[in-house]
Structure 1
Amino acid sequence: MSHISILARRTLRNVAFVAGALAVVSGAQAQGKSALDIIKDRGTLRCSAHNGSFPGFFEVDDKGQWKGFDIQFCKAVAAAVLGSADKVTYVPLSWAQRFPSLISGDVDIVFKATGWTLSRDTKQKIDFSIPYFVGGFQFMVPTVSKIRSGKELGGATVCTASGTSIEPVLADYMASEKVKFQVVTYEKSEELQAAYFAGRCDALAGWGPSLAVTRTQKVKDPATQTILPITLTMEPIAAALREDDKKFRTVVNWVIAAMIRAEELGITSANVDSIRAQAAANPSTNPAVAKLLGIHKGIGAELGLPDTWAYDVIKKVGSYGQIYEQELGVGSPYKIERGANRLWKSGGLIYGPVFD
């Protein structure tokens, strides 16, 4: 083989190597693209739903439309980013599927009653938003059982949902309280509830708000079911996002914060137009409102959104208090007291970062 041929082959190999390297870099850059830009390019937000029903939080109404407390946050993000609460594609997922589907890009964000835990924060390739709900794990038992504490569940069969953070919590409870019961898991909420009400479980372990919804929805007389007062752990509920995407995580954080701030200021979807008109006429009288509703310019620039993004969220979805009462509280079939999910100034734990 001639010296020229050897040089030519080496050159071709080098070119191929460089081209391959560039392709890898290009692919890595594409993978590293913020979900915010992907959503804008696509024109729709891909948000988690459920492979069944989780009443009060994500369920399908009689018209085939998704509704629920968590669903409203999907709509709020779409309203902020795309200007429309309807530009959401809901992807039904089991509890176990939510993180793999998020990491793979099948969904952009998970609003799915997801607790912010150490193992999820460190072992999964995900990040969390600021919390938008708090709830604790509890037990529900038939009232006729006369069980009044978790310590009385020795030898019992306790049913719960698979793929959630409650399983290690139950293991910790058994160890700390020196009580042993059998834990049986079900992937679908409908299967879990059917097992409990058919008597195959002595107790149902779950998220307190969900147990309250189940009791209201599934039995004619709620007094036949007792939710034990013990709370196994209090868990902050947050949106899950792909890790290292500060651009999108920041937007989601401020969307949640805007809904909380709207309730603090007494702004709702019903009065936001009149309040905005008053603020526009004299911005200096209420600078907090003028900033939130985009009268004062600049609220959107740092987020890559229009200055009207918070107005769009409030107008098209509502304030935090509105969606709570609509989906879980007095305006819903479930009538769940807000409790710890009241605003901080009303004795609750809900607060947001400062709009400065």
Structure 2
Amino acid sequence: MAILALGLVPFVNPAQAAGGKTLEDVKARGALNCTGHDGSYLGFAEVDDKGAWKGMDIDLCRAVATAVFGDPAKLKIIPISWAQRWPSLQSGDVDIIIKASGATLSRDTELGLQFSNSYYLGTTKVMAHKKLNLASLKDADGGTICIPAGTSQEPQVAAYASKLGIKLEPVIIEKTEELEQAYFSGRCDLYAQWGPTLAIARIAKGKVEDHVILPDVLDVEPEVMIMRQGDDNWVDIANWTLSTLLFAEQSGITSQNVDQIRDNPPSPQIAKFLGKTPGMGKGLGLSDDWSYNVIKKVGNYAEIFDRNLGKDSPYKMERDLTNLWNAGGVLYPMVID
């Protein structure tokens, strides 16, 4: 199911180049409006001690901005709560949501949203205070559980508890900092969240030995970039931006060697990919060197992951399923021909 979520996007006729209204609006404004998080979402969107945004989701916003403008600085990060994501997108206040958000049926059919391919495959998990000595969630009958408001974790917890035949008392909190404070202070016995967020929170608090992530997997969710329905050109730009990051990693092209490879491309495919020969941008309404700019100025997928979540970050997370197909994961680029 996860692999299907990473499938092909519709064909774009070159005659439709630059025809997407969102692309036209973004270019006219001179900056991409991309969602940030309303607080610290470590590894994905956080603010450093100088007030600058950083994280996996933020770098994906930068990649899309670079695809459009050739400049990652032509980006406005707009902090929005979980609950306000969809109204802000539907009203046009933001152009794209990149906020650790999953693709769901109701968001598609009821809210009128459209999704990119998945950029991260995550599971919903539950963390517990180790002193409670819980082997699995079934042992937590009657306990309190902290859940982020306005997210898919709410119905996931309810459905899983019903399946186990247990009762849990939900404590619903919107802001991530307040949610984590409630759990780590002991207000909640359990904390339900996206698995990577739990792992990062436990490390960031320096309390790895005091908390256990239970083996239960409540659900698997592909995290996607989200846009309004009705503008296929804009969805294609998001998808091909993600595919560019993955194709570059698969091809061994990094921000450090991209100039060298562009000067002497090893194949016609790479020459087109890096804008040495024409054809990469016309059908999308972008310049032919847009993918070169993305890799040069933002990096490939591995570079983005490593500096925000992986070996070059404080969190030292493994790629696991969020790896390329040829490295044990489920991610793969679309074909550039």
Give yes or no for TM over 0.5: yes
Tell me the residue number matched to 1:272.
Answer: 258
Letter paired with 1:182: E
Structure 1's consecutive aligned runs of 4 or more residues displaced over 2 angstroms after TM superposition are none
In 1: Cα distance, 2:323 partner to 2:269 partner: 21
Cα shift readout 1:72-118 (whole Å, capped 9, x = no counterpart): 01000010101100110111000000110000011000000000111
Tell me the residue number matched to 2:274.
Answer: 293
Tell me the residue number matched to 2:289.
Answer: 308
Q: Which has the higher helix share?
A: 1
Q: Does 1:52 align with 2:39?
A: yes
Match of 2:208 among 222, 227, 236: 222
1:105-144 to 2 correspondences below 5 Å: 105-144=92-131
In 2: Cα distance, 1:231 partner to 1:69 partner: 23
1:132-211 to 2 correspondences below 5 Å: 132-211=119-198
In 2: Cα distance, 1:336 partner to 1:268 partner: 20
In 2: Cα distance, 1:139 partner to 1:271 partner: 41
TM score, norm. by length of structure 1: 0.88
In 2: Cα distance, 1:224 partner to 1:276 partner: 50
Letter paired with 2:238: V
Match of 2:90 among 103, 124, 141: 103
**Relative contact order, higher structure (CA 8 A, sep 6+):** 2
Tell me the residue number matched to 2:12.
Answer: none
Q: Aligned with 1:216: secondary structure? A: helix
Cα shift readout 1:11-36 (whole Å, capped 9, x = no counterpart): xxxxxxxxxxxxxxxxxxxxx96211
Q: Does 1:317 align with 2:298?
A: yes
Letter paired with 1:56: G
Tell me the residue number matched to 2:242.
Answer: 256
* Greater C-alpha radius of gyration: 1
In 2: Cα distance, 1:193 partner to 1:69 partner: 20
Tell me how far 1:235 sits from its aligned partner.
0.5
Q: Which has the higher strand share?
A: 2
Asked if the contact 2:33/2:77 (under 8 Å) is kept, the reply is: yes
Structure 1: gaps (5+ residues): 1-31, 280-284
1:73-92 to 2 correspondences below 5 Å: 73-92=60-79
Tell me the residue number matched to 1:42.
Answer: 29
Q: Does 1:338 align with 2:319?
A: yes
Letter paired with 2:149: S
Q: Does 1:232 align with 2:232?
A: no
Aligned-pair identity in percent equals 47
Tell me how far 1:218 sits from its aligned partner.
1.1
Tell me the residue number matched to 2:3.
Answer: none
In 2: Cα distance, 1:131 partner to 1:98 partner: 18
Asked if the contact 2:65/2:75 (under 8 Å) is kept, the reply is: yes
Tell me the residue number matched to 1:245.
Answer: 231
TM score, norm. by length of structure 2: 0.93
